[in-house]
Structure 1
Amino acid sequence: MSSGIDQSIEGIEQMPLREFTEKAYLDYSMYVILDRALPFIGDGLKPVQRRIIYAMSELGLSASSKHKKSARTVGDVLGKFHPHGDSACYEAMVLMAQSFSYRYTLVDGQGNWGSADDPKSFAAMRYTEARLTPYAQVLLSELGKGTVDWVPNFDGTLKEPSMLPARLPNLLLNGTTGIAVGMATDVPPHNLREVASACIRLLESPKSTLEDLCEHIQGPDYPTEAEIITPRDELLKVYRTGGGSIRMRARYVREQGDVVITALPHQVSGAKVLEQIAQQMQAKKLPMVEDLRDESDHENPTRLVIVPRSNRVDVERLMSHLFASTDLERTYRVNMNVIGLDGKPQVKDLLGLLKEWLAFRFETVRRRLEYRLGKVRDRLHLLDGLLIAFLNLDEVIRIIRSEDEPRPVLMQRFELSELQADYILDTKLRQLARLEEMKIRGEQDELTKEREWLEKTLGSKQRMTTLIRKEIQADAEKYGDERRSPIVEREAAEALAETDLTPSEPVTVVLSEKGWARTAKGHDIDPTSLSYKAGDRYLDSARLRSNQAAVFIDSTGRSYSVPAHTLPSARSQGEPLTGRLAPASGATFSVVLGGDPEQWYLVASDAGYGFLVQLKDLHAKNKAGKALLTLPKGARVLHPVAVTDRERDRVVAISNEGRMLTFPVSELPALSRGKGNKIIGIPAKRVEDRIEFVVAVACVPEDGKLIAHSGKRHISLKLADLEHYQGERGRRGSKLPRGFQKVDRVEVER
């Protein structure tokens, strides 16, 4: 089918479905953007808000009147101007009445209008009452003075204002949020005095830069007293681009060791925050918190108490974690997308927005003055005619009494206009008293002066600027207040790691020959005395803290790590490590280590190769572990030994042939993985055939001694005794005394 509209004989319009749906959706999109979701830059209101304010003013609900049922206002708005849902209209009205949602409320509510904890908990409109606040006069006071265009309502029976003649940039003062089709808007609220001061600066110095304006506007000012922690350079970027984000953080004080939160970020519920903290406590992810309380009341709208477990808890670190993991810190999107004076939506920067609003204000004031000038001229015209009639009263009375059509005769006799003649004829007899001439002349003098002032003001841009500046200053003094949201520089919040959140208690991790692991409380336990499964027995153990990770090394030289507090209690027989780790087929766990992550260890194979490594480099992030020690063919992993001093300790290596070699530990490299360097010389073939291999390695400090065990016999060697076995790294070493040719284990005493 060809494009375009094809009207058939029956009068039915036909159009391709693709064109119809595209046109229909575009029309709907433009309607949502322009007539529902986005505010107008002049008054900062969406259509529903504008209609609510106007309808309330028409009902006489000024700040000095009595409150009236909200249902009456909503009914007027729906019936006269806004044919949409009553609940949506009422919610828009509620939002403008909530002091915790709106920076400068427009509606003064009586009854239940919701709470900061639950803004949606307001009562139905049949129960609540409302009137306008004094601040609403900023939008309404110039409405009937020719300042705005009037358009027909939805059914053409009434007129409504296309905008309200705002005397202040309400868009910036109260901010707005809205979602249209394909675009959204998020304008944060600001302080009235700061914005008024910036407007005056721009009036006095039209070439002011954004940085100049930001000397007055420090940043957004939300209805809450929580801190704005966005850095100044980021705030400048937000104002320069019209988009970005603002971060707010709760405020707290210390009271007798407790943490008392006194202010929450905008639209954050205290109950929700307590729930978030309680969930972490129940999951045992917040062991340093003992109790939570909500002590909020009428005098203290926000008072949330967090009780630390002891006075040793680092409160700053705790609060940093809570800021990062709960709504105690929140980010707000900024997208200053508004409908400009040209009727088009556009994202505007702060400087452009204020300039455009001042252009709107100039036009509004010009229209107001021209409207008033017209009224003054009309009144002077009527007064001129009335004065002529008063000075020729007898003649006027005679004409009225004698003529059938007195109006044309009066017009001809005294050179009056139709308006003047009608006004004279409509004048009551009581106004013909003697004092009336003085009143007429007095009113003429006042109106003449006002006309001259209006004409001068309209003819001079400087006078107009001065007038607008004085009006802005007057409104700022009348409606302005102090900033609520302080702007403070803070360090970025950081959530605590799982190890920081776990209680730090001494524990012993026990490993059995079959690869079962468990955790016993304390360091004084004898792991060999624990019960083991049939056919299983003790293999190795490590002393560490419960918030540290236990490191396991398997027979292939791979290392694994498991948080110690997650292992089962020693009261049970533990659990197989293969259930939570994934070693290679046939690999068995042979070593467990733990303690200070900075501790250095000598890691070696019985082929006589090894290197130095820190415990933290043995930690693995996945189940499969990480490659640590590369084993030559036929070699096995030796138990790593702790290094006390990398500069002064000495390495001792003993082979099954009864040979011992010692040299400074500093001769070995520090690696994170690999085969390492040769410690003692053993031919690779002899290792492969398991003929010769290393049976023990040790690191002996300066003030320590080595005890070598051979069966039931042992020999004790101090550092001076070890000099006999000193040699170059990688040599075969010297023979041990008779009876110690078969050393089965060594230990170091300090």
Structure 2
Amino acid sequence: MLEGINENAVDFRPTYDGSESEPVVLPGMFPNILANGSSGIAVGMATNIPPFNVAELCEASLALLEDDLDAKGLAKIIKGPDFPTGGTLIEPKANIIKAYETGKGAFRMRAKWEREDLKRGTYQIIITEIPYQVQKSRLIEKIAELINARKIPLLDDVCDESAEDIRIVLIPKSGNVDADLLMEALFRSTDLETRFNMNMNVLENGVTPRVMPLKEVLQAWLDHQQVVLVRRSQFRLEKVLHRLEVLEGFLTVFLNIDKVIKIIRTADKPKEELIKAFKLSEIQAEAILNMRLRALNKLQELELQGEHDELSKERDELQKLIASEARQWTMIKKQIKILYEEFGPKTELGKRRTKIGKALEPVDLEQLEEAMIEKEPITVICSAKGWIKAMKGHDIDAKGIKYKDGDRASLVMEAMTTDKVLIFGSNGRFYTLGGDQLPSGRGFGEPVRLMVGLPNDADIIDMQLYDAQAKMIVAADDGRGFIVKMEDVLAQTKNGKQILNVSGKVEAKLCKPIEEGHDHIAVMGQNRKMIVFELAQIP
């Protein structure tokens, strides 16, 4: 990055106290701001640039010099940020292209993990890479906190077996736990998944702060390299011309060695005499006077002539380079290719560390929510006055359950803590309660009306266990009814979901699941007469 710093490649400015000088920018052929990233906060602005892969930056730069690439074309070469801690980038490609176009965006990162099978059908999950800027110790503490709070019931323990490399071991509750589901829960709850917010706010031309697209930042680096190349070439040309001037003076000595020696020995002012006699410059005359006698041999003459010829060729090449922009870009391409060889994808320094993963598919939130609940058997009990509770276990002796004075058992149902309980009110609405949300079996429980929006003038008609594949028949006391799928009555809010419309004195009275294989229904009226007909006749 400092190559050419002493060759007038860049400007210098005084340091803050004026005691020394410092370069305004670094001259080296290395895209440092993109390769290593940068972050900082100033007055009213901030920057946050992720690191990118050097080999990909080189490829993109060469492609940009050949053709006018857009953000989509750049994204085919620069696949995304390349963080030193590895991990997996799961951001959709469209979002990456948008970030390249605008200079702003977010990159979603996940830890890299693998399943390690053990004996007796068990396994453990090994995390080998974590997202950029995530502190490992704090991450493990967070996972341990979730385990202790029983918020990740699928996970039994976490161990740190890291040495030089990261090795975080996750131990599931059993071998039946879905590893993908467990990791999805952890990604949502911990820094095993993070977002890097890119804000490519840079100083344009070293003066004006501006959020620049990736293409413009790359082009600015290439333009800077052109300026550096020209300034270094001019600096070298000046050195070459100076040396050629001295060499031409030396060669003049060899052609007129006797006369030169005589002038030096006899003249009062040999410098002026040499300049006058051989039309030399002051620089040449001074160099001749400083020349040692041992340098006046034939071998030295040949060496000086050879050096003169080589420097003459270099002078011509430098003059052509400075005069031709096409030659300058050809030289820059060669330098980028040399950089690519040093940081190529097959080298230890240049290999990509961050894996490019597939964009996330939609997650089954219901299944994920269920996975976050510890699965335990419960018996749900709802009293006649609408008090509900969940007692641990099945096969509960209903006779031993205590109720408030004047209250009694009404609805009893066996379930699991991961189940959803449907409550049907006389107002024709269905309400949904999670099995894990029900009050414990100690005491009398809690009124259902405090948990859902069941009005005071409505009663609880029935309570059912939710089954997405099941159907129910619902009816009002005026004889209206129909078949409804359970998945259609599931309520997402506390206010429930209106399924059966009732008004006035009419109330909902019936809610019964239709068991598999049953195809007829029997209905008895207040006149004590019964009618039987096919279920297919019910809408």
Question: Is 2:358 the counterpart of 1:489?
Answer: yes
* Cα distance between partner residues in 1 of 2:383 and 2:69: 77
Tell me which residue corresponds to 1:245. 106
Kindly provide the CA deviation profile for residues 196-245 of structure 1, in whole angstroms up to 9, marking residues without a partner as x: 22222333x24455555444333322212211222333323322333222
Answer yes or no: is the 8 Å Cα contact 2:461–2:511 preserved in 1. no
Equivalent in 13, 16, 38 of residue 154 of structure 1: 16
Answer yes or no: is the 8 Å Cα contact 1:528–1:538 preserved in 2. no
Kindly provide the CA deviation profile for residues 617-676 of structure 1, in whole angstroms up to 9, marking residues without a partner as x: 444444454445444554554342222259x6333222343222233333333xxxxxxx
Kindly provide the CA deviation profile for residues 56-90 of structure 1, in whole angstroms up to 9, marking residues without a partner as x: xxxxxxxxxxxxxxxxxxxxxxxxxxxxxxxxxxx
Tell me which residue corresponds to 1:288. 154
Equivalent in 51, 71, 83 of residue 222 of structure 1: 83
Tell me which residue corresponds to 2:347. none
Kindly provide the CA deviation profile for residues 419-446 of structure 1, in whole angstroms up to 9, marking residues without a partner as x: 2222223334444455432332232222
Kindly provide the CA deviation profile for residues 131-184 of structure 1, in whole angstroms up to 9, marking residues without a partner as x: xxxxxxxx1121111211222333444332222112132222122223333433
Question: Is 2:61 the counterpart of 1:199?
Answer: yes
* Cα distance between partner residues in 2 of 1:628 and 1:462: 76
| Residue 558 of structure 1: how far off its partner (Å) | 4.2
Question: Is 2:526 the counterpart of 1:666?
Answer: no
Kindly provide the CA deviation profile for residues 474-513 of structure 1, in whole angstroms up to 9, marking residues without a partner as x: 2222344211112121424746643342234443211122
* Cα distance between partner residues in 2 of 1:216 and 1:326: 31
Answer yes or no: is the 8 Å Cα contact 2:35–2:51 preserved in 1. yes
* Cα distance between partner residues in 2 of 1:167 and 1:445: 30
> Once the two structures are aligned, what percentage of the paired residues are identical?
37
- More displaced stretch, 568-577 vs 309-318: 568-577
Unaligned runs of 5+ in 1: 1-138, 670-750
Tell me which residue corresponds to 2:26. 164
| Residue 573 of structure 1: how far off its partner (Å) | 3.5
* Cα distance between partner residues in 1 of 2:60 and 2:323: 26
* Cα distance between partner residues in 2 of 1:429 and 1:639: 123
| Residue 378 of structure 1: how far off its partner (Å) | 0.7
1:352-431 equivalence runs, <5 A: 352-431=216-295
- Residue 43 of structure 2 aligns with an amino acid whose one-letter code is V
| Residue 314 of structure 1: how far off its partner (Å) | 1.4
Question: Is 2:423 the counterpart of 1:552?
Answer: yes
* Cα distance between partner residues in 2 of 1:566 and 1:242: 45
Corresponding residue SS for 2:422: strand
Answer yes or no: is the 8 Å Cα contact 2:424–2:511 preserved in 1. no
Answer yes or no: is the 8 Å Cα contact 1:513–1:590 preserved in 2. no
* Cα distance between partner residues in 1 of 2:478 and 2:71: 72
TM-score normalised by structure 2 residue count: 0.88
| Residue 579 of structure 1: how far off its partner (Å) | 4.1
* Cα distance between partner residues in 1 of 2:39 and 2:71: 24
Answer yes or no: is the 8 Å Cα contact 2:422–2:466 preserved in 1. no
Question: Is 2:114 the counterpart of 1:261?
Answer: no
Pick closer, same or farther for the CA change 1:473–1:311 going to 2, 3 Å: same
Corresponding residue SS for 2:77: coil
| Residue 543 of structure 1: how far off its partner (Å) | 2.9
Kindly provide the CA deviation profile for residues 503-549 of structure 1, in whole angstroms up to 9, marking residues without a partner as x: 34443211122322222344433424423333322122123332122
Answer yes or no: is the 8 Å Cα contact 1:539–1:590 preserved in 2. no
Answer yes or no: is the 8 Å Cα contact 1:209–1:351 preserved in 2. yes
Corresponding residue SS for 2:354: coil
* Cα distance between partner residues in 2 of 1:562 and 1:206: 61
Question: Is 2:216 the counterpart of 1:349?
Answer: no
| Residue 472 of structure 1: how far off its partner (Å) | 1.8
Tell me which residue corresponds to 2:525. 655
* Cα distance between partner residues in 2 of 1:250 and 1:177: 22
Answer yes or no: is the 8 Å Cα contact 1:285–1:498 preserved in 2. no
* Cα distance between partner residues in 2 of 1:581 and 1:307: 38
Equivalent in 134, 145, 161 of residue 279 of structure 1: 145
Tell me which residue corresponds to 2:451. 580
- Residue 113 of structure 2 aligns with an amino acid whose one-letter code is Y
Corresponding residue SS for 1:171: helix
- Residue 216 of structure 1 aligns with an amino acid whose one-letter code is I
- More displaced stretch, 435-444 vs 377-386: 435-444
1:173-192 equivalence runs, <5 A: 173-192=35-54
Question: Rg larger in 1 or in 2?
Answer: 1
* Cα distance between partner residues in 2 of 1:430 and 1:159: 42
Answer yes or no: is the 8 Å Cα contact 2:154–2:371 preserved in 1. no
Compute the RMSD of aligned alpha carbons. Answer: 2.8
Answer yes or no: is the 8 Å Cα contact 2:75–2:96 preserved in 1. no
* Cα distance between partner residues in 1 of 2:477 and 2:322: 101
| Residue 571 of structure 1: how far off its partner (Å) | 5.2
Tell me which residue corresponds to 2:4. 142
| Residue 559 of structure 1: how far off its partner (Å) | 3.7
Corresponding residue SS for 1:277: helix
* Cα distance between partner residues in 2 of 1:624 and 1:568: 19
* Cα distance between partner residues in 2 of 1:554 and 1:183: 57
* Cα distance between partner residues in 2 of 1:345 and 1:360: 17
- Residue 303 of structure 1 aligns with an amino acid whose one-letter code is R
Corresponding residue SS for 1:591: strand
Pick closer, same or farther for the CA change 1:206–1:629 going to 2, 3 Å: closer
Pick closer, same or farther for the CA change 1:487–1:625 going to 2, 3 Å: closer
Kindly provide the CA deviation profile for residues 16-71 of structure 1, in whole angstroms up to 9, marking residues without a partner as x: xxxxxxxxxxxxxxxxxxxxxxxxxxxxxxxxxxxxxxxxxxxxxxxxxxxxxxxx
* Cα distance between partner residues in 1 of 2:354 and 2:477: 67
Corresponding residue SS for 1:596: coil
Pick closer, same or farther for the CA change 1:492–1:279 going to 2, 3 Å: farther
* Cα distance between partner residues in 2 of 1:607 and 1:353: 74
| Residue 561 of structure 1: how far off its partner (Å) | 2.7
| Residue 252 of structure 1: how far off its partner (Å) | 0.8
| Residue 263 of structure 1: how far off its partner (Å) | 1.0
1:663-702 equivalence runs, <5 A: 663-669=533-539
Corresponding residue SS for 2:418: coil
| Residue 583 of structure 1: how far off its partner (Å) | 3.5
* Cα distance between partner residues in 1 of 2:93 and 2:496: 45
| Residue 380 of structure 1: how far off its partner (Å) | 1.0
Answer yes or no: is the 8 Å Cα contact 1:191–1:221 preserved in 2. yes
Pick closer, same or farther for the CA change 1:223–1:345 going to 2, 3 Å: same
* Cα distance between partner residues in 2 of 1:237 and 1:586: 55
Answer yes or no: is the 8 Å Cα contact 2:260–2:274 preserved in 1. yes
- More displaced stretch, 326-335 vs 233-242: 233-242
Unaligned runs of 5+ in 2: 118-122, 345-349
